Structure 1
Amino acid sequence: MSCTARDVFIAVFFCLLSSTNLAGASENSLDLDSNFFLSWKAEDGAIYFKARVKTAGYVGVGVSLNGTISDTDICIGGVKDNETYFWDYYGLPGGKLERDECLMCNLTSVTEINGTTTLKFMRYFITEENDFGVNITDSKLYLMCVYGDSDEVYVSNMTVGSKLINLLNYEHPPTTTPSGCNGIYSLPVSCLRLFVSSFFAMFSTFV
């Protein structure tokens, strides 16, 4: 291998490495089950969530201290009769949900297309709503993800998933995402061009 080809190869390696680290640090994602894909990004005291779920009903994302509905702080949204809805809920003893009039989440968008609902919203780290709010800090909380097959929000018709993680420092993002979802890693055009140049440079040394 010539010196020039080697130098280009090393440059490509570190370019790819830095690209992966930067992308992973800014956005995280995981699959709760075969129907629920979630990604999020922390920025300026808030977390920006995007949930893509195979349902024509409601979709919700929130946090909990013990992984149960009874102490969850969750935002739920969907589309009903071509109109969007979005509410903040908190859990009560006995597994009931109460709508919170002090909304600490801001809806970005919610769509329902061909049986798949996509919910995007922003939630502040610190809630000052009432005693039921759960703050997001640099420690582990239960990430709560729920959905239903209709737009009537009842615990009895709710599919619930939970995962104990640190939302602000998620260490193990997946390497693959479901079909139709964008991955969290991207290759800059400059790196792609450099890779192609490196390939032909190395190839020429062996012919």
Structure 2
Amino acid sequence: MIRLVVGSFLVISHIYYAELAPTENYPYSEALASNYMLYWKYNDTHITFETHVQAHGFTGFGISVNGSMFPGDVIIGYVSHHNVHLNDYHTTAHAPPTMDSSQDWTLISSKENHDSTVLKFSRALNTHDSDDIPIHAGVTHVIWAYTTTDPKSPTELIYHAANRGSKDIKLIAKGTVPVGK
């Protein structure tokens, strides 16, 4: 009986994370990895994302021209000692990203619990910033990464190693009605 209870608890705990509720009801979601969930909504001018990553350290999320790390328009965010950092970067090589001179992503909220980091952020669909990639209807090449350790600072990032990937997603479907900011 004890084995059944412990086994059930472990299964329920795993399902709970996989189905951890976002901070609001989003019309769109996509699992980028087994421990990285993306939620989003958009209107005519802006898009809002919420990332749930089952790890502590930085969360990286971005848009790529070709599905590779570069050229890319990325955010890197993390919670360290109750302070939240979220910065806008761009990539030009398989190297640490460069912080943009224009910070076009806006942090809306964040939280970190015993095993996960949640970041909610938004930006204009087209920032008119040469370091950013506009988001249009159709397939978007999304890139993601995370670490299990916080960086020393937003300019001293830690390498994500194999904790990375890309996925083609229709962030904005043609002919759909925008659904909020």
Q: d(CA) in 1 for partners of 2:107 and 2:162? A: 21
Distance 1:68 1:155, change over 3 A: farther
1:7 maps to which residue?
none
2:167 maps to which residue?
163
The unaligned stretches of length 5 or more in structure 2 are 1-25, 152-156, 175-181
Q: Secondary structure at the match of 2:171?
A: coil
- The answer (yes or no) to whether the contact 1:64–1:143 under 8 Å persists in 2 is yes
Q: Which moved more, 1:47-56 or 1:139-148?
A: 139-148
1:72 maps to which residue?
72
1:144 maps to which residue?
143
Q: d(CA) in 1 for partners of 2:128 and 2:29? A: 27
- The answer (yes or no) to whether the contact 2:146–2:160 under 8 Å persists in 1 is no
1:53 maps to which residue?
53
| Runs of 4 or more above 3 Å deviation | 154-158
TM-score scaled by length of structure 1 = 0.65
Taking every aligned residue pair, what percent have the same amino acid on both sides? 28
- The answer (yes or no) to whether the contact 1:90–1:133 under 8 Å persists in 2 is yes
> Shift in Å at residue 87 of structure 1?
0.2
Distance 1:158 1:105, change over 3 A: farther
Q: Secondary structure at the match of 2:97?
A: strand
Counterpart of 1:167, as a letter, is L
Question: How many corresponding residue pairs?
Answer: 144
- The answer (yes or no) to whether the contact 2:145–2:163 under 8 Å persists in 1 is yes
Q: Deviations over 1:6-27 (max 9, x none)?
A: xxxxxxxxxxxxxxxxxxxx71
- The answer (yes or no) to whether the contact 1:69–1:97 under 8 Å persists in 2 is no
> Shift in Å at residue 102 of structure 1?
0.4
Greater share of residues in helix: 1
Q: d(CA) in 2 for partners of 1:156 and 1:125? A: 27
RMSD: 1.8
Q: d(CA) in 1 for partners of 2:150 and 2:68? A: 21
Q: How does 1:34-53 map to 2 (within 5 A)?
A: 34-53=34-53
Distance 1:155 1:69, change over 3 A: farther
Q: Deviations over 1:44-98 (max 9, x none)?
A: 3111101111111111221101111121101111101221111001001234311
TM-score scaled by length of structure 2 = 0.73
